[in-house]
Amino acid sequence: MDPMEALVAQIRGLSSCAGDLSRLQSILKQADDSLRFDSTRLSAVLSQLDPSKHSLGCLYILEASTAGPVSKEQADILVPVIARFINSSAAEHIRMAPDKFASVCKRLKDQVMLLNVPVRGVAPLLTAVRKLQTTTEHLTPLHPEFLLLCLLSKCYKAGLSILEDDVFEIDQPRDLFLYCYYGGMICIGQKRFKKALELLHNVVTAPMSTINAIAVEAYKKYILVSLIQHGQFSTNLPKYTSSVAQRNLKGFCQPYYELANIYSTGKIAELESYVETNREKFENDNNLGLVKQVVLSMYKQNIQRLTQTYLTLSLQDIANTVHLNSPKEAETHVLQMIQDGEIFATINQKDGMVRFLEDPEQHKSCEMIEHIDSSIQRIMALSRKLTAMDEQISCDQLYLSKAGRERHRYDFDDFDSVPQRFNI
Amino acid sequence: MDFSMLTATMASKSFEKIADICDNIMLQVAAEGIAYQDEWPYAIHLLGHIYVDDINSARFLWKSIPSSIKENQPEVSAAWKIGQRLWTRDYGGVHEAIRGFEWSQELQVLVAAFSELYTKKIFQLLQSAYSTISIQDAAFFLGMNGDDATNYVLQQGWAVDLASHMLTVKKQVIMSEQKLDPSKLQRLTEYVFHLEHR
């Protein structure tokens, strides 16, 4: 009997219960080499199996037989095969071999990119992410791949669905860097600047031992989004940022620092001319569109500043102070800001005046109580997580032996709770 | 391609669901490797995004449409024209874009529903942003002639001064639900108590 046929028979026989499955897995591991057959036989072999019932076996066969380089013609045949497998496979099977599943899905991504139709991979990869993760807090290696396909196929909205999950578990640091970077780009595209800032901030402040290109590019965008969202950018990174990032990021982002400096003067003409002279640099970084939004945001920031000083102001005065050409232009800007909820004001056309108002929110509606309550709940959940993690680390052998070893280097009082040495 | 769900949604006029339904079908058929572009209802899909005020998604969808379709299907371009005017905040231009095309029967209801929704939204914007506004500007924003606009806002309680051609806005008191669920208050009290007695 052909070894392949024997294997297919075993897959069919050992796919029902957990005990059988782990036996099957050890058989499959041993057979790994014989699985690397010509991919032309793939469909014949797979047709004897049901991807929803024999998912583990199908996964090993798919993984082994798609390992080599593929031509466009082959990719065109493989993409629907893999997509169908992702859709129908059983989650408990594929989680037994998460690496194999991830590598099959990554090949699907490579193939749709080779075919230049990234949109074909969006739905399968979203399904794959959901099947592979045990909870929504788990960041799989497929998260960044999915977001990349969303960006390339301009399906930004589809990407938002996984960005709303709070992440606590990560397999590889690189996954987090890319997830947050791509996620930041998706949020920028959807003009959700607050969320974008949060994601990009995570890239920049994540632990790293050497500087990496993802962090540098994220930092550039972080500076720009920070200006758009808050009208300012603080050059100081938080204390918990790795020292590598603190030392090196600035050097890679000089034009952006300069831009933020000029922005802080509030002079629109200078900002515009700086952007014009450095246009090429921003363009090469693919950030020109975002830079242009920074320039536009300066009008808003300047108008916002006025609301802190004045109760009423004429449209003419607003136009003069923020360097707009006419009272009509000032009115348009004020109107747009009211529409976006960025300021509270009423325009009196008859007198050509604007009256700035207080935020009408009185924090006593049911909605607001609901909002406060859910925020407190979230913070409490986070605090519980931190406590659990803290406990886990204080029991960690590696941490304790390192902390114990370095203890003599510090003042006694600073490390009062750390034991002298902990040999388990 | 199975559009039965989309057809049913259009028929029941649940226009706010159109964008999500179209997005899902598109990703599914794309995953199956079907060349959907030529038969895709791009105009409906665009208007679906526009209807729920998701201009960003409408714009990305427009960017992903093959140029041959943009050139050969005037209704698709006409639908995007509305989105483009919204994108550039050309308030009056939106009404022009709506009126400037002979919409197919399939789309007429959707476009009319959006037009009505948009006019309401703009009226609310004017109501919150202005204390007085000229008849001419109000008419421009609402996409009506001067008389129709005046009648429209008079019905909402605004006042008109025909000598100066100015409308005086009557602010609406927004009533929000203030009645509290006692258990919510209880919970907040417990948080504060906990914080104070740590």
Span A6-39, pLDDT tens digits: 778 878 777 777 778 888 888 888 777 666 665 5
What's the full length of chain A, in residues? 424
Given A119, A126, A336, which is nearest B89 (Cβ)?
Answer: A336
Tell me the chain B residues in contact with residue A296 when contact means C-beta distances shorter than 8 Å.
none
Tokens representing A68? 């080599």
Q: Can you tell me the mean pLDDT for A297-320?
A: 94
Place of tokens 């136009």: A319
**Alpha carbon distance A334, A370 (integer Å):** 31
Q: Do both B1 and B95 map to the same domain?
A: yes
Report yes or no on B139 lying in a domain.
yes
Do residues A229 and A201 make contact, with C-beta atoms less than 8 angstroms apart?
Answer: no
Q: Do both B48 and B77 map to the same domain?
A: yes
Report yes or no on B71 lying in a domain.
yes
**pLDDT band at A407; cut points 50, 70, 90:** low
CATH of the domain at B143: 1.10.10
DSSP string, A102-161: HHHHHHHHHHHHHTT-THHHHHHHHHHHHHH-SSTTEE-THHHHHHHHHHHTT-HHHHHH
Tell me the chain B residues in contact with residue A348 when contact means C-beta distances shorter than 8 Å.
130-132
pLDDT of A336 > 90? The answer is yes
Mean residue pLDDT across chain A: 89
Distance (Å) from the C-alpha of residue B151 to the closest C-alpha of chain A? 20
Q: Do both B161 and B85 map to the same domain?
A: no
Q: Which residue of B has its CA nearest to A343?
A: B129
Task: ipTM value, please give it.
Answer: 0.91
CB contacts < 8 A, A to B, total 106
**pLDDT band at A423; cut points 50, 70, 90:** very low
Q: What is the pLDDT of residues B99-123, one digit of tens each?
A: 999 999 999 999 999 999 999 999 9
Q: What is the pLDDT of residues A80-118, one digit of tens each?
A: 989 999 999 988 888 989 999 999 999 999 999 999 999
Between these two residues, A407 and B1, which has the higher pLDDT value? B1
pLDDT of A424 > 50? The answer is no
| A347 contacts B56? CB cut-off 8 A | no
Q: What is the pLDDT of residues A188-236, one digit of tens each?
A: 999 999 999 999 999 999 999 999 999 999 999 999 999 999 999 988 8
Q: What is the pLDDT of residue A362?
A: 79
Report yes or no on B102 lying in a domain.
yes
Tokens representing B95? 């009404």
Q: Assign 3-class secondary structure to chain B.
A: CCCHHHHHHHHCCCHHHHHHHHHHHHHHHHHCCCCCHHHCCHHHHHHHHHHCCCHHHHHHHHHHCCHHHHHHCHHHHHHHHHHHHHHCCCHHHHHHHHHCCCCCHHHHHHHHHHHHHHHHHHHHHHHHHEEEEEHHHHHHHHCCCHHHHHHHHHHCCCEEECCCCEEECCCCCCCCCCCCCHHHHHHHHHHHHHHHCC
Report yes or no on B137 lying in a domain.
yes
Report yes or no on B119 lying in a domain.
no
Q: What is the pLDDT of residue B110?
A: 96
Q: What is the pLDDT of residue A199?
A: 97
Q: What is the pLDDT of residues A357-372, one digit of tens each?
A: 988 887 777 888 888 8
Q: What is the pLDDT of residue A40?
A: 64
pLDDT of A419 > 60? The answer is no
- Look at residues B82, B112, B142 and tell me which one is the last residue of a structural domain: B112
Do residues A179 and A160 make contact, with C-beta atoms less than 8 angstroms apart?
Answer: no
Q: How many domains does chain B have?
A: 2
- Hey, of A76, A119, A380, which one would you mutate to test binding to chain B, going by the most B CBs within 10 A of its CB? A119
Q: Which of A172, A167, A129 is nearest to A148 (CA)?
A: A129
Q: What is the pLDDT of residues A137-153, one digit of tens each?
A: 999 999 999 999 999 99
Portion of chain A with pLDDT greater than 90, in percent: 64
Place of tokens 């602010």: B171
Q: Which CATH architecture group holds A310-356? A: Orthogonal Bundle (1.10)
Q: Do both B82 and B141 map to the same domain?
A: no
Report yes or no on B124 lying in a domain.
no
Report yes or no on B121 lying in a domain.
no
Residue A340, judged by CB atoms within 10 A of its CB (0-12, 13-18, 19+), counts as exposed
Q: What is the pLDDT of residues A29-75, one digit of tens each?
A: 877 766 666 556 777 777 778 888 888 888 888 888 888 888 888 88
Given B31, B54, B129, which is nearest A124 (Cβ)?
Answer: B31
B182: contact with A, CB 8 A cutoff:
no
Distance (Å) from the C-alpha of residue A329 to the closest C-alpha of chain B? 13
**pLDDT band at A391; cut points 50, 70, 90:** very high
Q: Do both B184 and B100 map to the same domain?
A: no
Q: What is the pLDDT of residue A69?
A: 84
Structural domain range at position B60: 1-112
Tell me the chain B residues in contact with residue A376 when contact means C-beta distances shorter than 8 Å.
191
Report yes or no on B163 lying in a domain.
yes
Q: Do both B80 and B162 map to the same domain?
A: no
Cα end-to-end distance, chain B, whole Å: 62
Q: What is the pLDDT of residue A34?
A: 67
Do residues A142 and A102 make contact, with C-beta atoms less than 8 angstroms apart?
Answer: yes
Q: Do both B92 and B165 map to the same domain?
A: no
**pLDDT band at A301; cut points 50, 70, 90:** very high
Q: What is the pLDDT of residues A240-253, one digit of tens each?
A: 999 999 999 999 99
Q: What is the pLDDT of residue A412?
A: 52
B175: contact with A, CB 8 A cutoff:
no
φ, ψ dihedrals at B131, nearest 5°: -105, -35
User: Where exactly are the structural domains of chain A?
Assistant: 1-162, 172-308, 310-356, 368-415
In chain B, which residues have pLDDT < 70? Answer: 174-180, 198
pLDDT of A1 > 70? The answer is no
Given A123, A345, A355, which is nearest B31 (Cβ)?
Answer: A123
